[in-house]
Chain A
Amino acid sequence: MGYCLDQAGFNQILNEWSKEYFVYAPKLFKDGGSFSDTDRIRYGEIHTVEEIVFDRKSDYSYKEILLPLSQTLFFFTDDMVKEADLPKKGAVILLRSCDLHAVKRLDEIYLQNGCEDYYYKRLRDRVKFILIGCQHSFENCFCVDMGTNRIDNYDAYIEMKNGEIYVDNHNDVWKPLFTTYSRRTPEVIPAYATENKTHIHIPDGITPDIAHSKIWDEYDSRCINCGRCNFVCPTCTCFTMQDIFYVDNGKVGERRRVWASCMVDGFTDVAGGGCYRKKNGQRMRFKVLHKVYDYKKRNGYHMCVGCGRCDDICPEYISFSNSINKLDAAIKEVSINAVK
């Protein structure tokens, strides 16, 4: 059902939610950019609607709420382990259609692939999603081609128009709240991008042989294996375990997991010094194929949701979408070479 609220009314609702939830939304971190006098838009806790950045894409995605960059799993002594506490409250996350599609990808890995992930599950069970409308596409977005520009499995939809907040609520528990604080009950239909400037075409007929294509070679030198593309990606899920032994008592410590990147050195290192993907081109190939080929082979749909953040952030101006568009030629190249 649709509602129209003024900012004060919506802030009342945020206040009500804050009893039970941390509310997270893209917000502006002043001077938070890499370069001086530049800001960063990323997820953070908000208390008022004014803090929400509606008109720009966040540099990093919502995923850090479900998968913290650095998460303590448990504490240990020589002969005991103690599980880390759960956050005190659940979470309400405001996010765009592409990112809500990405949640399905996180769920696939953390709830399906093998056993359920205990730490993910216990957070995930207490999360509500509010869809932010996209009145237009942003730079580098290719959600339309990925089919992720629309979604309807949200708890609520939110849109800011002429200083008023329009909401479409799907969550019955929230109905009284919205009824109390709304001014009107217009019909609210989620806005979504219908056209992107960036287009991609994922060819059928990719085979593992595409690894032998020359298209990957240019990335050996162009890519600096910093991992930004992975860290901003709403669907990248890899992590590395770390054991920390406290300095004052070396027998006591904690085990954490931190985000890992398949582009960064060390990802495929095994004991004894072996490394399975040394060249940046190989790493690029591994990443690209995971996003638009092998994930689908395993799970039935593509991993990439077309948010374009990897293109937005790459310091070397490597375009992921452009690398997808080279796959057609790569297929032809390896098939011709196979005939030879």
Chain B
Amino acid sequence: MDVNTKKMKKNAFRVTKHRGFTASRIRVPGGYLEAKYLGMIQNIAETYGNGIVNITTRQGFEIPGIKFADMPKVNELIQPIIEGLDINQEVLGQGYTASGTRNVTACVGNNVCPYACYNTSLFAKKIEKAIFPNDLYFKVALTGCPNDCAKVRMHDFGIMGMTLPQYDKERCVNCGACVKACTKKSVSALATVNCKVVRDAHKCIGCGECVLNCPTGAWTRSHEKYFRLTIFGRTGKKNPRLGEDFIKWADEASIIKIICNTYDYVKNYIDPLAPGGKEHIGYIVDRTGFEEFKKWALKDVQFPANAEINTPIYWKGIKY
């Protein structure tokens, strides 16, 4: 059997422990898909796989037990899934164009969750459109609010929804619900002064608990959606670390631009000898220094007026 494993992996087929058998990886940006695709996945698993489907940790599907020979047939069958989920593709009918940049994950977001500050699925799709296909090893995750159910701080780019609370003091009856919620569930950014509420803008993390708990609508959400961008969290063997805050009160456009800029930065600085062409961005930043990264990342980025940039950043984590 003569198979180019590099090409095969790039095409989103895994080299497995079972010789001659592969697993097809279906990417589902934001883990959001119409139920009809599940039937197609089932069909592939039962026709060419071993009848099993794995739900991956990155919200995709992995269909194991596929013979190497069947990869073209599988690529035919996953074509409607690729098109239906609007995944960028270079050659129609030939499966995924790349696999380095991983599926963009997201929590359920404001399609369902009351805490979410934005539509995580939509933003995940937008990011996917902007960055895929790419062979570089990037992990991006989105979460609706600072609860961070999607564990975005374990990713290269973590996007956390925020709302800028708007206070109409004429609607405030001093019931105390917001202050109590902020104190008990969030960061104690609210205080009662002269029977009205004062927000400490510096402390506020934009979680929206004040809005959720306000019974009169004195607190409302900003029309604009805001995000906290955390960078270069990761798991891994050498130095697992949590992503650190980079931008507070960023918007969609600035985040997409920063991620795209980072691809340029990585292309320029990645260790050419990195095994499998795979190097955690964090290690690259360790090597170039944060300022160099920042220079590349913020190139031509337009931030909202209230955006706060945290610089320089030092990462902690466990070092082995």
Q: A31-B220, A32-B220, A244-B195 are in contact. List 16 more A-B contacts (CB 8 A).
A: A34-B211, A34-B217, A35-B116, A36-B221, A37-B110, A37-B118, A40-B220, A42-B217, A60-B216, A70-B171, A227-B175, A244-B194, A247-B194, A259-B173, A259-B216, A261-B173
- A23-42 with Cβ < 8 A to chain B: 29-32, 34-37, 40, 42
Given contacts A231-B215, A244-B194, whether A260 and B170 have CB atoms under 8 Å apart is no
Would you give the shortest CB distance from A85 to chain B, in whole angstroms?
Answer: 15
Over the window 147-181 of chain B, the binary record of Cβ atoms lying under 8 Å from chain A Cβ atoms (1 yes, 0 no) is 00000000000000101000001111111110000
Inter-chain contacts of A258 with B (CB < 8 A): 172-174, 195
Q: Which residues of A contact B (CB under 8 A)?
A: 29-32, 34-37, 40, 42, 59-60, 68-70, 226-228, 231, 240, 242, 244-245, 247, 256, 258-261, 264-266
From the candidates B116, B175, B176, B212, name the one contacting A34 in the complex (CB within 8 A).
Answer: B212
What residues of chain A lie closer than 8 Å to B171, measured between beta carbons? 69-70
Q: B221 contacts which chain A residues (CB < 8 A)? A: 31, 36
| B211, A70: Cβ atoms closer than 8 Å | no
Quick one: given A34-B211, A36-B116, are A242 and B174 in contact (CB under 8 Å)? yes
Chain A contact residues, majority secondary structure: loop
In the complex, how many angstroms separate the beta carbon of B88 from the nearest chain A beta carbon? Answer: 26
Flag whether B254 is at the interface (Cβ < 8 A): no
Top 10 A-B pairs, shortest CB-CB distance: A258-B173, A242-B195, A228-B215, A259-B173, A36-B110, A244-B194, A226-B215, A227-B215, A69-B171, A35-B114
Select from chain B the residue with minimum beta-carbon distance to A42: B217
Give the residue of B170, B176, B214 whose beta carbon is less than 8 angstroms from that of A68: B170
Cβ-Cβ contact count across A and B, 8 Å cutoff: 84
Rounded to whole angstroms, the CA-CA distance of A261 and B174 in the bound complex is 11
Report how far A12 CA is from B163 CA in the complex, Å: 39
B314, chain A: closest CB distance, angstroms: 33
Task: Say whether chain B's binding surface is mostly helix, strand, loop, or mixed.
Answer: loop
Knowing A30-B223, A226-B213, A231-B216 are in contact, say whether A70-B172 is a contact too (CB < 8 A).
Answer: yes
Q: Report Cα–Cα, A245/B193, bound state, in Å.
A: 10
Bound-state Cα–Cα, A68 to B218, Å: 13
Instruction: Assess whether B118 is in contact with A36, with CB atoms less than 8 Å apart.
Output: yes
Q: Which residues on the B side are within 8 Å of A29 (C-beta)?
A: 220
- A59 to B216 alpha-carbon distance, docked (Å): 10
Q: Taking the complex as formed, is B247 at the interface, i.e. its CB lies under 8 A from any CB of chain A?
A: no
Are A70 and B114 in contact (CB-based, < 8 A)? no
Cα separation A40 to B193 with both chains bound (whole Å): 27
